[in-house]
Amino acid sequence: MASIQVRPADLPSARRARRFRLGRPSLGRSALARNEARWGLTFIAPWIVGFLAFTLFPMVASLVLMVTNVRLDQSDPIRFVGLDNIARMLGDHTTWDSLAVTFRFAAFNLPIAIVIPFVVALVLNSRYLRAVGLFRTLFFLPYVIPFVSGVLAWQGMLNVETGWVNAFLRLIGVENPPNWLQDQTLIYPSLAFIGLWGIGAGVIVNLAGLRGIPTELYDAARIDGAGWWATLRNVTIPMMSPVIFYSLILGIVDVLQYFLVPLVLYNGTGEPGGSTLFFNLVLYKQAFNFNNYSYGATLGWLLFVITLAVTLVVFRTSRRWVYAAGDR
Amino acid sequence: MTIQALVEEEHMESRLSRPGVLVAAIAILATACGGSTATPSPSATTASAPPSTAASEPASQGPATVPPGGPVEIRWYCCLGGGEAPEQKSVEDAVVKAFNDSHPNIHLTFEVVTYDQANGQLATEIQSGNGPDIVGPVGIGGANAFHGQWLDLAPLIAKTNYDLSGFPENVVDIYKLDEGQVGIPFAIYPSALFYRKSLFDEIGLNEPPHKYGDKYTMPDGSQVDWNYDTIRQVAKLLTVDKNNKDATQSAFDPKNIKQWGLELQRDDLRGMGAYFGPGSLAAADGKTVQIPDAWRAAWKFYYQSIWTDHISLTGPQFESKDINPSDYPFFAGNTAMSENFLWSTYGVGDLDDWDLAAIPSYNGQTTAAFNADTFRILKGSKHPEEAFEVLTYLLGTASGDLLKAYGGFPARTADQQAGIEALQSQFKNQVDWQVAVDGIQYADNPNFESFMPAYNESLGLVGSGGKYLTEWGNKSGLNMDAEIDKLKADLQAIWDKAS
Amino acid sequence: MSVVGQAARPTLPALPVRRRPRLRPTKAGGRSFLLTFVVVVILAAFLSPILRSVFVSLRTTEQVGALDAPPWPAVHGEFDYGGKQYDVYDVPIDGATKPLALVKKGRDSSQFVDPANADAGLITWQGSWRSLSRSWTFSPEFANYATVWDQIAYPRLLFNTVAIALIGMIGTIVSCTVVAYGFARFRFPGRGALFTLLIATIFLPYAVTLIPTYTIFLKLGWVGTWLPLLIPTFFANAYDVFLLRQYLLTIPREMDEAAAIDGAGPFRTLRSVIVPQAWPAIVAVGIFHVVYAWNDFLGPLIYLSTKPDLQPLAVGLAHFNTLHYRNQAFIQAGTLMTMIIPIVIFLIFQRFFTRGIVISGVEK
């Protein structure tokens, strides 16, 4: 089977960009570059102002919390405690256990959270699908449901005795269907499944991306006799790589901060058997339930550092696989 | 290509560091200022405590004139434990309006946050220095989540000669804590055994005794003590499968239960224990975990009820909105007997055949776990005297309306008859309220919701929706003695970490 | 007439616009049927909780806690005998099954009355009544929705919600598009670092930043107003800037350059080239914000807890749910009702995600 290879580097604008970049150093700090920089800073100015006004102080304040002993009841007066909170965090096995839980779930859930919306978007973009508008809306539907209602709906669906899932399983002959939400081996699939309910956002992002792929690339692929798989691999995925990259980064941030579903389902107890004691759940409980603000902030900054490290690694690899026609 | 982040990452680090230090310095100042109002350090506490204000201002008694600078604003925060339902809110709004109309010196405002969010919201407000003055209605456990935040009312009670003689002494003492006299009794909720008469009638079973100390007549005519062994036997007869076989019969099918015999109060393991006997998880030193023998017995009884006797719902059944659509299984009518507090009358209105009976005894001793709600003043209040004036209004002039709206039983002995009439007026069937009144003298002391170290964190193990309650409700075949020992060890670990 | 818009075209290689080859009917029809069928099956499972919610929202009160009730809204027969209502069961008696009202329950024998012949008095039937079935008939209670509408201050809450969502949507779209344009199309010192910083603002969980953020708005005097929910949207956010930037990166630069050659400044290029090109992503950002604002509970709760008149639906509904915790039907009806407007918005805007109308990288 003949196939064409549209590698990012072969696309006209990428070639041009490369050529352009080669010529770049000679431009130096020309007036043109200064002008461009001025415009760039003008355009990002709203974010910078907002960052200074609303984001910087909370971040810095949480850093200060980290080296003090602020709690709601404040049985001891507020004082500088240095690295006490960090030492406590590093010495507490809950920190490491919950990080392990988080990473285990991330390894399981991240591929699902990225691939499934992409596949659904492909299907919704397929010319073989009838009534596309209807299906698009139906896939979007659960995304609109308020979060807690959605989780509670699934809790009802997955109830071992009265849930529809097990009712269906009994109907097809399964005698003792599982206790989905209380079985340690089934809990991650169940949580991943509940997570797929918010698939609407990911599908939209992917649909918007697919819509931006120039159709002449598909036409060219077809003329070359490329099959479905070759077209997907050599046209769609490279052209979608900026969107996939976006999904990946946000997927990582989301999964590292994952805690709301188990908070609603198990009241934050980490049931079954500690398998849902996620890092951010521990953090949330420290900051909100136990009112240990300083310790919560300390955990928060550990999560910040971990997230930053992981995303920077992904950013580094992105040069190899993310194609951007308009970048230079 | 896509991002130069990495290339310039080191630059970012160095660039951030310099302004970072500056802003951090500012922030330390800002937090220090905000913090002093938010979290009273010892010095701040004395500054806002009554003695100092008492010296500076004359007591305001009754309606006063508008002080210079306009009326003092007092914020009333609700709902750490009920009071947010719209029909309650209309009563509360009316109380606020009536108060403001009659007190030109104070402007009272009312803030409603629903139960789920009330804790977090109050913590945020307090920590940001935006805390309210009065909080309530709030129970003993609900208030313990904010241990150390409550104002000792004793100086204000002494100064205004507030009369406490109208309350049962043991109820006043509930609020005498290490923090001081943090509350004045308002609503009380003794426990009783709720049961459905028709389910007893169906098989000609005698109803449970209404008087504490009375014997129970078994189907074979024998007179036995009304204790937990007896109630287990009765509950088995009242547990029925889809073929109408009861739990004493060999053909009984535990997989298809249609009616359950008995439901213990399973909100909180401590409360469940308190029905078997009063106790505390904290030993006398306040640091060591102990499991009272009666509580151990209660928890084993609970586990056996679910997995061996099948007289109580399993965890998943309890969670299922199809079987248990609203809070407690008794409300849906599929449970014959249920131990609960008097506040649970809010859910029984759909049944027309329910009544109250005595809580059974354990080891010859009877204990009816006890709840109490009141309004409290936060230490951080900038106007404790005015707040106390509002408090006495809520507990006095407004108490009749509020108690009715909350379904509360009056703590003031003289008001109890009127309280009974108000309760009875809500139901079609005649209820024997004297059972509940009698239950007051069997209240658990120490109260099961008393403070323990790392209070909120400990609740994650023993409290509502806590780890062990969930596990025991979900897993059969556990060795309960080992489980309870594990609970004890887990709890000890939390307490050790906290100290 | 826009010079920019016109000028953009010729710079691209003039590929012949090819129509997609017609699918061969039989094969394509088969594939089409198969794919559509698979999607329908998956959707049926995916959406079943919503169907369950719809069923619950239409439930009658007599179904609550009735263990033999079907999942769909239904009523069973009742008969008025001596001034009281009794449930009607299908009783096998005298060799036939008769609908009889159960008057006196017993374990081994029960007493019934025949609704067709009530005067005949009680009939004793040997057997366990629990093994009898009640006949439930489908009967949706649409009045539940009317009750919800009446009991909750729906119009006011709806107005608040729409206002907060739409103002925030405008702020988000405008600010995020502008900022994303700055990051995607201009080089300036520290761009990479600033972009990393932007993304890093979402790495710190909100549990950590909530109280300091609340403190800022408190000091600004904004607590008790919509401002904390609205003003920040005009200063861009990491999620949407990142999305738009990624999308802008896929748009070839030739078009900007052509516009620049025609003398268009950066603002004009943004308006006439970038925005039309990035429309699907901008619409996506708008939809995300509307849905976010629609369901945001914590933000409005924290800042508007003292001002019930300013609260949106999500907060108002929580009050409603605590009143009707016993009636799941009302809770589900309330939830489903709040979903309608976001769904309508999506229905209107989903055409921007239509497949296959992109002929080249340039044309819409």
Burial of B17 (0-12, 13-18, 19+ CB in 10 A): exposed
Please judge whether B24 and A290 are an interchain contact, meaning their C-beta atoms are less than 8 angstroms apart. Answer: no
Predicted confidence at residue A23, as pLDDT, reads 38
Angle at which helix A132-144 crosses helix C25-57, to 10 degrees, equals 30
Look up residue C261 and give its two tokens: 């050659």
Note whether A307 contacts B: Cβ–Cβ < 8 A: no
As to burial, measured by CB atoms within 10 angstroms (0-12 exposed, 13-18 middle, 19+ buried), residue B342 is buried
Q: Which residues of A touch C192 (CB under 8 A)?
A: none
Task: Using a pLDDT cut of 90, give the percent of chain B over it.
Answer: 58
In this predicted structure, the answer to whether residue A72 has a pLDDT above a threshold of 90 is: no
Q: How far is CA C275 from CA A243, C267, C278, C361, in A?
A: 18, 11, 5, 14
Q: Is C106 on the interface with B (CB under 8 A)?
A: yes
Residue B105 near residue B66 (C-beta atoms within 8 A): yes
Per the CB < 8 A criterion, the answer to whether B375 and B92 are in contact is no
The token pair that represents B188 in the structure block: 């009380």
Backbone angles phi, psi at C222, to 5 degrees: -95, -10
For the cut 80, the answer to whether the pLDDT of residue B60 exceeds it is no
Asked if pLDDT for residue C136 goes beyond 90, the answer is no
Confidence category of residue B257, pLDDT binned at 50, 70, 90: very high
Q: What is the largest CA-CA distance in chain C?
A: 100
Q: Are the CB atoms for B151 and B47 separated by under 8 Å? A: no
pLDDT at B20: 32
Read off the tokens for C142: 């649409």
C314-318 long-range contacts, CB within 8 A, separation 24+? C314/A146, C314/C161, C314/C338, C316/C152, C316/C153, C316/C157, C317/A146, C317/C152, C317/C157, C318/B114, C318/B116, C318/B117
**B461 touches B467 (CB < 8 A):** yes
Across the interface, of A73, A318, A322, the residue whose CB is closest to B147 is: A73
Cα–Cα distance for residue pair B487/B272, rounded to 1 Å: 15
How far apart CA B92 and CA B85 sit, in angstroms, is 10
Query: CB within 8 A of A126, min separation 6: which ones?
Result: C35, C355
C-alpha to C-alpha distance for C124 and C111, rounded to whole angstroms: 4
State residue C68's pLDDT score.
Answer: 80
Amino acid at C323: L
Q: Is C70 in CB contact (< 8 Å) with chain B?
A: no
* Number of neighbouring beta carbons within 10 Å of residue C114: 19
Query: CA gyration radius for chain C?
Result: 31
3-state secondary structure A97-159: HHHHHHHHHHHHHHHHHHHHHHHHHHHHCCCCCCCHHHHHHHHHHHHHCCHHHHHHHHHHHCC
Q: What is the pLDDT of residue C339?
A: 87
- In this complex, the residue of A72, A156, A162 whose CB is nearest that of residue B126 is A72
The closest of B394, B438, B383, B447 to B416, measured between CA atoms, is B438
Taking CB atoms and an 8 Å limit, are B470 and A269 in contact across chains? yes
C-alpha–C-alpha distance, residues A19 and A17, integer Å: 5
Q: Report chain A residues whose CB lies below 8 A from the CB of C277.
A: 212
Chain A closest-CA separation from residue B173 CA (Å): 23
Query: What's the average model confidence in pLDDT over B352-361?
Result: 95
- Hey, is C96 helix, strand or coil? strand
pLDDT of residue C317: 82
- Give DSSP secondary structure letters for A239-250: HHHHHHHHHHHH
Q: Is B159 exposed, middle or buried (0-12, 13-18, 19+ CB in 10 A)?
A: middle
Task: Determine the residue among B37, B77, B108, B124 to mutate to test chain C binding: the one whose Cβ has the most chain C Cβ atoms within 10 Å.
Answer: B124
- Please tell me the predicted confidence (pLDDT) of residue C106: 82
| pLDDT at residue A28, rounded to an integer | 53
Distance CA C13, CA C5 (A): 16
* A224 DSSP assignment: T
User: Mutation test of the interface with chain C: which of B322, B338, B429, choosing the one with the most C Cβ atoms within 10 A?
Assistant: B322
Put simply, the answer to whether C64 touches B9 (Cβ < 8 Å) is no
Question: Tokens in use for B127?
Answer: 């920590």
C-alpha closest to that of B77 among B125, B20, B42: B125
Nearest to B467 among A61, A182, A269 (CB): A269
C-alpha–C-alpha distance, residues B340 and B333, integer Å? 15
**Res. C110: pLDDT tops 70:** yes
- Quote the mean pLDDT of chain B: 84
The residue of chain A nearest to residue C252, with distances taken between CA atoms, is A326
Q: Is C126 helix (H, G, I), strand (E, B) or coil?
A: strand
CA angle B135, B141, B144 (to 5 degrees): 70
Q: By CA distance, what is C24's nearest residue in A?
A: A128
- Best residue in A18, A97, A244, A291 to probe B by mutation, most B CBs within 10 Å? A291
Say if residues B8 and C187 touch (Cβ distance below 8 Å).
no
Q: How much is the average pLDDT of B447-474?
A: 89
Give the nearest partner residue to A43 out of C31, C181, C207, using CB atoms: C181
Of A245, A268, A318, the CB nearest to B460: A268
Cβ–Cβ < 8 Å for B110, B93: yes
C195 and B3 within 8 Å at the Cβ level: the answer is yes
Pairing of strands B257-263, B335-341: parallel
**Mutation test of the interface with chain C: which of A42, A136, A137, A204, choosing the one with the most C Cβ atoms within 10 A?**
A204
pLDDT at B485 over 90: yes
C126 interfaces chain B, CB cutoff of 8 Å? no
DSSP state string for A180-217: TTT-TTTHHHHHHHHHGGGHHHHHHHHHHHHHTS-HHH
Cβ-nearest to A214 among C47, C347, C358: C358
User: Considering only alpha carbons, which residue of chain C is nearest residue A323?
Assistant: C250
For C268-324, the pLDDT digits (tens) are 999 988 998 888 899 999 999 999 999 888 889 889 988 888 999 888 887 777 666
Which of these ranges, B305-314, B416-425, C118-127, has the smallest mean pLDDT?
Answer: C118-127
Structure tokens at A297: 């902030």
C265: amino acid identity, one letter: G
Whether residue A136 is predicted with pLDDT greater than 50 in this model: the reply is yes
B472 Cα to chain A: minimum distance (Å): 11
ipTM: 0.86
Which range has the worst mean pLDDT, A4-13, B200-209, B366-375, C96-105? A4-13
Of the pLDDT bands very low, low, confident and very high (cuts 50, 70, 90), residue B90 is: confident
Find the largest Cα–Cα distance for chain A. 77
Write out residues 106-165 of A within 8 Å (CB-CB) of C. Answer: 123-133, 135-150, 153-154, 156-157, 164
Residue B220 C-alpha, separation from nearest chain C C-alpha, in angstroms: 17
- Whether the link from the prior residue into A46 is cis, omega within 30° of 0, is no
**A52: number of Cβ within 10 Å:** 13
Question: What is the residue whose two structure tokens read 């708005």?
Answer: C217
Q: Dihedral (C-alpha) A305, A309, A310, A313: value to the nearest 10 degrees? A: 170
* b/e burial code for range A196-216 (CB count within 10 A of at least 16 → b): bbbbbbbbbbbbbbbbbbbbb
Whole-angstrom Cα distance, residue B113 to residue B82?
A: 10
Q: Would you state the torsion angle of the CA atoms of residues B271, B272, B274, B280, taken in this order, to the nearest 10 degrees?
A: -70
Band (pLDDT 50/70/90 cuts) for residue C243 is: very high
Render pLDDT for A282-296 as a digit per residue (tens, 0 to 9).
Answer: 999 998 888 888 999
List the 59-78 stretch of B: residues with Cβ below 8 A of C.
75
What does the alpha-carbon distance between residue B438 and residue B434 come to, in Å, rounded to a whole number?
A: 6
Chain-centre distance of CA A127, in angstroms? 29
pLDDT surpassing 60 at residue A20: no
A residues 33-72 closer than 8 Å to B (CB):
56-57, 60-61, 63-65, 68, 70-72
Write down the pLDDT at residue B50.
Answer: 37
**What is the pLDDT at residue B21?**
32
Closest CB to C211 among B6, B127, B240 = B127
What is the tens place of the pLDDT at every residue in C342-362? 888 888 888 777 644 443 333
Kindly give, in sequence order, each residue whose CB lies less than 8 Å from that of residue A193, ignoring residues fewer than 6 positions away: A154
CB C205 within 8 A of CB A53: no
- What average pLDDT does range C326-334 have in this prediction? 82
Per-residue pLDDT tens digits for C165-220:
999 999 999 999 999 999 999 999 999 999 999 999 999 998 889 889 999 999 99
CA distance linking residue B294 with residue C92, whole number of Å: 50
Neighboring chain A residues of C48 at a CB cutoff of 8 Å:
157, 164
pLDDT of residue C13: 34
Chain B touching partners, 3 or more CB pairs below 8 A: A, C
| pLDDT level of residue C222 (50, 70, 90 thresholds) | very high
Region for residue B82 given its phi and psi (left: phi exceeds 0; alpha: psi -120 to 50; beta: otherwise): left
